[in-house]
Structure 1
Amino acid sequence: MKTQHILLCSLIVVLFLVEARVTVAVTCKPTELSSCVSAITSATPPSSLCCNKIKEQKPCLCQYLRNPNLKKFVNSPNARKVASTCGTPFPAC
């Protein structure tokens, strides 16, 4: 019986370790979205690199929207379409 308790406890610890997720701080750099320029400006399908960068930079999008120099680029209909195509919902800031 004691062995079963040890195994059960070990299993629970392993499950918690598997479910643990590491949070990585994102450095907000608008230049990271440069791979999306052609998709946003010419309505071509976004590349996988573009989609990865949008997902990576998603926590920064509200910051970019507050920047007058970036807002027109980030808030354009094509930018929203690219984000949607990449499966990254546009944030409500």
Structure 2
Amino acid sequence: MHKFSFVSYCVVTLVAVVLFSGETRTAEAVTCDVSELSPCMAAITSPKPPTTTCCSKLKEQRPCFCQYLKNPTIKQLVDSPKAKRIASTCGVEYPQC
């Protein structure tokens, strides 16, 4: 039984390492392109709730938010109360840059 626990521990550790490595590569592979947030425009310009696609794009573009906030043109869109509400609805933490 002790051998099974050790094997289980090794498998769980290996899975965690693989998942963590994949998450790191995904974060590095994100191309910061504000047009990727276009599925959220309906939620920003109307009272409609964000779509699943919008939420997926927000999560994907999350590493880019601080970069977007540094651009005065994009900041108006990303830093609006509606954008913050949409992020909250999608479960995406708003950055503290």
TM-score normalised over the length of structure 2: 0.83
Structure with larger Rg: 1
For residue 47 of structure 1, what is the aligned residue in structure 2? 51
* C-alpha deviation, 1:6, in angstroms: 4.9
Pairwise CA distance, 1:88:
0.8
1:31-64 alpha-carbon deviations (Å, 9 max, x no partner): 1100001101113100000001101111101100
Q: Which structure 2 segments of 5+ residues have no match?
A: none
Taking every aligned residue pair, what percent have the same amino acid on both sides?
49
Is 2:13 the partner of 1:16?
yes
For residue 77 of structure 1, the aligned residue among 71, 74, 81 is 81
Separation in 2, partners of 1:81, 1:58: 15
Aligned letter for 1:33? L
> Structure 1: how far apart are the matches of 2:80 and 2:48?
14
Q: Count the aligned residue pairs.
A: 90
**1:63 matches 2:60:** no
Show the 5 A alignment for 1:1-40: 6-20=3-17, 21=19, 22=22, 23=24, 24=26, 25=28, 26-40=30-44
Please state whether the residue corresponding to 1:10 is helix, strand or coil.
Answer: helix
